[in-house]
Each structure stands twice: as structure tokens, then as C-alpha cells.
Amino acid sequence: MKKISLTLMLTCFAYLAFSQVVPSFQFGLKGGMNLSKFNTTNTFSSDNQAGYYGGVWARIGAAGLHLQPELYLSGKNTTLVNSTGQENEVKFTSLDVPVLVGTKLGAAGVGLRLNTGPVVSFLLNEDQNFSQAASAAFSGKFKDQSFAWQFGAGVDLGKLGIDLRYELGLSKINEAGYQSTKLNLYTLGLAYKLF
């Protein structure tokens, strides 16, 4: 009986040690809303406006750390207002590619995740609705891609996950000769693990 107990105990320890070294892989769907705001210097200001995002995510991890690449379509809306009060409503659709590094605290499918990493956004289209006065004051000419950095936390409850993140714009997104125009976002999303 002692030999069987010792064998079972050693098997359990070996399994736990091995599971910490061998990477795990997860894949799922994700969607939610964003609140976007241009961070501008002097010339323009803007208020947060709601948009959407949806796509896929993967998580590869071992020893308490994971790499989480994502790919999603994102609609971002904002209103630029210059110093004289003229407005320009801007709507973007972009393909966003975050590559996050994180850790998870918890076990048995329940836990808190912390992650951070760079995001590359590729502009797919832009729509600008100008008021009559603003059309002379601002014409977009936005760049095809921009870079940002995400910070976030998430909670996993079995196959479901909830994520809250802040995205800090690192590069100017306009090609026109205006002061720095960087897009900052808050995102709240729901994730579903397929496997």
C-alpha cells in the first residue's frame, strides 16, 4: 500500500511540475466596446465616444506567464473640436493587432489576469462628417497605421472572460500639419474560450 501511495504522490508532483513547464494553448472569440478620445496638443480637444471591437485571441503560456496575440476589427468614433469650437466628427474602422504579455493569478479556470503590450492599428477606412465651418478648419489625412500600448486586467470564469484595458496612443495618426494627434482608448470586452 505504501508503494502505491508513494507512486501516486510522485505521479501527482511530476504532473504538476510538468504542467508548469509545457506551454498551454487557448483560443477564443472576443468582442466589446471602446471609448476613444484624441489626445491633442493645443489645437484640438475631444470627448470620449463609444465604438466597438470584435475578433479572435490566443493565449500561449507556461510557468505563470503568457503571450496573448489578438486580432480584431475596431470601430472608433470621436469628435475633434478646435479652439474656436468648430467640430469634425471622425469615424475609423481599423484592424488592431495587440501582442500582450501577462500573468494569471488563480486556478481551476478562475483567476485574475494582468497584461500589457504593444498594439499596431491598420486603418481600413475613415469617414469624416464636417460641419460647414469645420470643413475649412480641418481635413483629416490620417496615416494608414499607428502604434499604441495597452495596459489591462481581466477576470476568467471558466470559458468566459471579462477584460478592461487602457490603450495609450504612441504615434500621431494624422498626416496633416497639425500638432500631435494621438488616439487613446478605454476598452471593455467579453471573451469566450473555444478551446
pLDDT tens figures, 131-184: 433 443 445 556 778 899 999 999 999 999 999 999 998 887 766 545 557 888
Q: At 97, list the grid cell.
A: 493587432
Rounded to whole angstroms, the Cα distance separating 20 from 137 reads 58
pLDDT of residue 22: 64
Q: Give pTM, 2 decimals.
A: 0.75
Rounded to whole angstroms, the Cα distance separating 128 from 91 reads 6
Residues in the chain: 195
pLDDT of residue 156: 93
Listed in order, strand segments (DSSP E) in the chain are 24-40, 44-45, 49-62, 65-82, 87-107, 110-130, 145-157, 160-169, 181-193
Q: How far is CA 61 from the centre of its chain?
A: 18
pLDDT of residue 148: 95
Closest CA to 162 of 12, 31, 27: 31
Rounded to whole angstroms, the Cα distance separating 138 from 127 reads 13
* CA count, 13 A, side-chain hemisphere, 116: 3
Rounded to whole angstroms, the Cα distance separating 119 from 11 reads 42
Q: In degrees rounded to 5, what are phi and psi of residue 179? A: -65, 170
41-97, pLDDT tens digit by residue? 555 555 677 899 999 999 999 878 999 999 999 998 877 666 677 777 778 789 999
- The residues with which 55 forms a beta bridge, in sequence order, are 30, 72
Q: What is the CA radius of gyration of the chain?
A: 22
